[in-house]
């Protein structure tokens, strides 16, 4: 109540204090309200609004509050409870103009309840489930006083060496764009100004996933057609869905860092796409313009960034330090600063903060006694979304599902790994709340008596890698290392395996291996764990691999060794239960890969929708002078869109309603899907189109639609897809988006390789 009065007072004051020179502006009129407010702001207050600082040891809280009260900070990130943020908003309310603060956080795949990592969410191909995960994340974050998230991350990633592959939704433009829109709508709910919503700021604008060699923060050099066609659409989809913010990428694009890139930020984002929201730099990115070698000092860096249209500077002090001098010297215009300030204030307005600065902070008496109280968690949803995201890669002799009567040896360094369960960027998630694979299996079995556990191996036997993974966490290392000799661990696991009917090995990466800056030169399971798998294989017991990893792995050997492989990614707080649901058949897996799995790291890139070439490799007709690696089989290990089920599905031949399509017409592509197995199950029917001849070379195929379909055992269903001219459009050499008449192949399959095909002509 007190806060509401304060707010009323603020709104009145905000209007009254302009009475002398400006007529009062009603808060309902956004533009007038903001213009009025800006007329009252000093230069220092304006520049203060452009400063986004990280709550952390660099700046004590007391100092932060002082700075806020002096009007020197626009927003903070990394403080995640109402009682942490309330004093900061109180400080803002003590500032001269009482401009509210906003509180940001990386809410990427859940807030307190952690959902599967984004790459796993994409594996569900289930837009309702993905929406649910985002909506719950927003509700939990908003209830903890967060106003804005730095998400969704929609960088197309086609190089799995890149550690941040885990944080995105895979390699495909269409799928990632669909998810981008869904996530924005989920975060923002009925509007970014709703008390249970948070504003989305899509990242990392742009092309961050295409860093050369998969090495983080590296350069990107890309043709305009490829940008427009493959890499930019997901950001555009997020913006079209109403994302209020954009986070600018750390990489350069064709020689100009994104943070200084006026083409990117002004011509493309604002002019061409009509974006009117908030543009924030990534962490320290303005300062890094010096290191990129485009600014000789901080002054020039600040000038380049403000000129490019970077509204807020994240965690560097350059705007505060340099903008006044640049303005005085006439090197930047007042309008450069004003444009940025207007966008910050507009974002705050859109978050509902001018009407109610305490919208998400609420009253102290309502603060939760325990922010992790079970009543605040969303475990059932997390479990359901997690099991939808698991991908069954192999299942020979119906090794899975396991019988609950079986004696099971559970081994591997990831079987009891609560922190890894959460994956990277796990927001406010707590490892102690994670259900591990061991917990989940033990619960499903009604106790631990039939489960024999042995660690079997460490994550890595390489001390350098271990040190890297723990470099931030020396006090409580994230990757725990069992000091016993590797052979002792293996012998223990082999003994457990011999006593059991079946072996489940939880192996793969620790979460830090698929994280920001964690690029890899190899994609295999670390050697220590491969030794374990080899030893387990010698026991002759059926071997199930439960993989945990944040990127495609090269699994050539494991594909042969294992009887079953379940790709579980990092599946979140309820991951262990979800995995047990699938292992024991209480849930029939339905996930499909959103990214190609290569046979080896040398094959990269292996994305399915590559351009046609003059001398393609023809399967079954090996020979010289076609495009291939002669020393390995050509093609991926597991293709995009692939994933098995405990039932089997078949597709009839496809029917097209016509062999021609005119520009205003519509074609119907239909196919009968049949569940030919003995269990009910869900699969994803995928529609691909190939533009056979174009004015520029077109991809061999492109995903254009899909449907996740549930069928009872023995059930059949006809699936229809509409095809219109819109599905055939692409950016030509002049970057004009249009379809060209000619022949098109339509393919429908349950993955991107095994498809039925028909053709038509666009007239």
Q: Which residues bind ligand BGC (CB under 6 A)?
A: 106, 150, 203, 247, 282-283, 516
The secondary structure of 394-417 as a DSSP string is EEGGG-PSPPTTS-EEEESTTTT-
Distance CA 472, CA 424 (A): 14
Minimum CB distance to ligand BGC, residue 516 (Å): 6
Residue nearest to ligand BGC (CB): 150
Q: Closer to ligand BGC at the Cβ: 491 or 516?
A: 516
Q: Closer to ligand BGC at the Cβ: 3 or 203?
A: 203
| Token representation of residue 417 | 């790994």
Q: Closer to ligand BGC at the Cβ: 282 or 702?
A: 282
Minimum CB distance to ligand BGC, residue 313 (Å): 13
Q: Closer to ligand BGC at the Cβ: 284 or 635?
A: 284
Q: Closer to ligand BGC at the Cβ: 148 or 341?
A: 148
Q: Closer to ligand BGC at the Cβ: 250 or 579?
A: 250
Distance CA 121, CA 125 (A): 7
CA 356 centroid distance within chain: 31
CA separation (Å) from 473 to 54, 86, 417, 550, 551?
Answer: 19, 29, 16, 20, 23
Q: Closer to ligand BGC at the Cβ: 358 or 425?
A: 425
Minimum CB distance to ligand BGC, residue 751 (Å): 31
Distance CA 690, CA 742 (A): 11
Return phi, psi of residue 312, to 5°.
-120, 140
Of the candidates 553, 556, 449, the residue with the CA atom closest to the CA atom of residue 507? 553
To the query of whether residue 282 is one of the catalytic residues in this protein, the response is yes
- Angle (nearest 5°) at CA 42 between 282 and 299: 45
Residue with token string 């964690």: 518
- Active-site residue, selected from the candidate residues 282, 316, 420, 691: 282
What's the alpha-carbon Rg for the chain, to the nearest Å? 27
DSSP element (H, E) containing 188: helix 173-188
Q: Closer to ligand BGC at the Cβ: 247 or 562?
A: 247
Minimum CB distance to ligand BGC, residue 282 (Å): 5
CA 598 centroid distance within chain: 21
Minimum CB distance to ligand BGC, residue 150 (Å): 4
Residue with token string 């902070």: 361
Distance CA 129, CA 387 (A): 10
| Token representation of residue 166 | 């885990």
CA separation (Å) from 699 to 610, 690, 744?
Answer: 5, 7, 12
Q: Closer to ligand BGC at the Cβ: 265 or 711?
A: 265
How is residue 377 annotated by DSSP?
-
Q: Find the length of the chain.
A: 763
Residue 620, sorted as left (phi over 0), alpha (psi -120 to 50) or beta, turns out to be left
Minimum CB distance to ligand BGC, residue 520 (Å): 18
Residue with token string 């559970």: 410
Residue with token string 């991908």: 391
CA separation (Å) from 208 to 159, 221, 306, 569?
Answer: 11, 11, 21, 22
Report strand pairing: 660-661 vs 755-762.
parallel
Minimum CB distance to ligand BGC, residue 630 (Å): 39
Question: Strands (DSSP E) along 479-571, which ranges?
Answer: 502-508, 543-548, 564-567
Minimum CB distance to ligand BGC, residue 478 (Å): 17
Minimum CB distance to ligand BGC, residue 242 (Å): 20
Longest pairwise C-alpha distance within the chain: 87
Residue with token string 């991809």: 699
Catalytic residues: 282
């Amino acid at each position: 109540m007190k806060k509401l009065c304060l707010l009323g007072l603020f709104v009145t004051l905000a209007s009254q204090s302009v009475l002398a020179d400006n007529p009062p502006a009603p808060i309902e009129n956004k533009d007038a309200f903001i213009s009025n407010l800006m007329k009252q702001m000093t230069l220092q207050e304006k520049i203060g609004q452009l400063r986004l600082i990280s709550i952390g040891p660099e700046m004590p809280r007391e100092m932060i509050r002082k700075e806020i009260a002096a009007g020197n900070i626009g927003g903070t990130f990394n403080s995640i409870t109402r009682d942490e943020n309330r004093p900061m908003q109180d400080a803002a309310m003590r500032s001269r103009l009482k401009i509210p603060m906003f509180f940001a956080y990386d809410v990427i795949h859940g807030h307190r309840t952690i959902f599967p990592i984004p790459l796993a969410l994409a594996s569900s191909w289930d837009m309702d489930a993905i929406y649910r995960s985002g909506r719950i994340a927003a509700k939990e974050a908003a209830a903890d006083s967060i106003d804005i998230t730095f998400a969704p991350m929609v960088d197309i990633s086609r190089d799995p060496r890149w550690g941040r592959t885990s944080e995105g939704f895979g390699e495909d433009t269409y799928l990632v764009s669909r998810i981008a829109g869904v996530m924005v709508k989920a975060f923002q709910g009925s509007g970014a100004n709703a008390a249970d919503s948070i504003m989305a700021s899509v990242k990392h604008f742009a092309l961050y996933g295409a860093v050369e060699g998969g090495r983080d923060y590296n350069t990107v050099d890309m043709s305009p057609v490829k940008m427009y066609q493959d890499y930019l659409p997901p950001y555009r989809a997020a913006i079209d869905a109403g994302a209020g913010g954009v986070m600018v990428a750390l990489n350069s694009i064709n020689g100009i860092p994104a943070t200084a890139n006026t083409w990117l930020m002004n011509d493309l984002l604002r002019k061409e796409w009509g974006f009117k929201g908030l543009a924030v730099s990534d962490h320290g990115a303005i300062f890094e313009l010096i290191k990129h070698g485009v600014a000789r000092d901080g002054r020039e860096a600040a000038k380049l960034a403000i000129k490019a249209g970077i509204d807020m500077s994240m965690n560097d002090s350059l705007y505060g330090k340099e903008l006044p001098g640049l303005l005085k010297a006439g090197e930047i215009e007042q309008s450069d600063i004003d444009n940025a300030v207007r966008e910050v204030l507009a974002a705050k307005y859109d978050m509902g903060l001018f009407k109610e600065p305490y919208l998400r902070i609420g009253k102290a008496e309502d603060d939760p006694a325990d922010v992790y109280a079970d009543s605040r968690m969303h475990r059932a949803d997390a479990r359901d979304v997690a099991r939808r995201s698991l991908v069954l890669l192999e299942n020979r002799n119906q090794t899975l599902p396991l019988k609950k009567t079986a004696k099971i040896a559970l081994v591997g360094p990831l079987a009891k790994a609560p922190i890894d369960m959460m994956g990277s960027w796990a927001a406010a998630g707590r490892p102690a709340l994670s259900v591990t694979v061991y917990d989940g299996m033990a619960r499903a079995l009604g106790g631990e008596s039939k489960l024999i556990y042995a660690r079997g191996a460490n994550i890595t036997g390489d001390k350098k890698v271990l040190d890297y993974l723990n470099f931030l966490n020396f006090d409580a290392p994230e990757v725990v290392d069992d000091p016993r000799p590797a052979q002792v661990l293996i012998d223990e696991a082999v003994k457990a395996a011999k006593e059991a009917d079946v072996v489940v090995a939880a192996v793969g990466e620790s979460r830090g291996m698929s994280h920001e800056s964690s690029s890899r030169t190899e994609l295999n399971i670390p050697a220590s764990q491969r030794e374990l798998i080899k030893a387990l294989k010698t026991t002759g017991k059926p071997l199930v691999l439960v993989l945990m990893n944040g990127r495609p792995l090269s699994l050539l050997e494991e594909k042969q060794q294992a009887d079953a492989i379940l790709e579980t990614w990092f599946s979140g707080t309820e991951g262990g239960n979800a995995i047990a649901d699938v292992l024991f058949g209480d849930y029939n897996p339905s996930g499909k890969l959103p990214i190609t799995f290569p046979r080896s790291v040398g094959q990269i890139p292996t994305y399915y929708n590559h351009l046609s070439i003059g001398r393609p490799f023809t399967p079954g007709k090996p020979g010289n002078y076609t495009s291939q690696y002669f020393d390995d089989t050509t093609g991926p290990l597991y293709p995009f869109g692939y994933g098995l089920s405990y039932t089997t599905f078949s597709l009839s031949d496809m029917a097209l309603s016509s062999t021609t399509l005119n520009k205003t017409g519509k074609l119907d592509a239909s196919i009968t899907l049949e569940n030919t197995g003995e269990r009910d199950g869900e699969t994803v029917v995928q529609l691909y189109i190939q533009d056979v001849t174009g004015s520029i070379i077109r991809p061999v195929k492109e995903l254009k639609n899909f449907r996740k379909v549930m069928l009872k055992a023995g059930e059949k269903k006809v699936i229809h897809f509409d095809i219109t001219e819109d599905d055939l459009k692409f950016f030509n050499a002049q970057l004009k988006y249009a379809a060209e008449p000619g022949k098109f192949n339509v393919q429908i399959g349950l993955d991107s390789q095994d498809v039925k095909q028909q053709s038509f002509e666009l007239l």
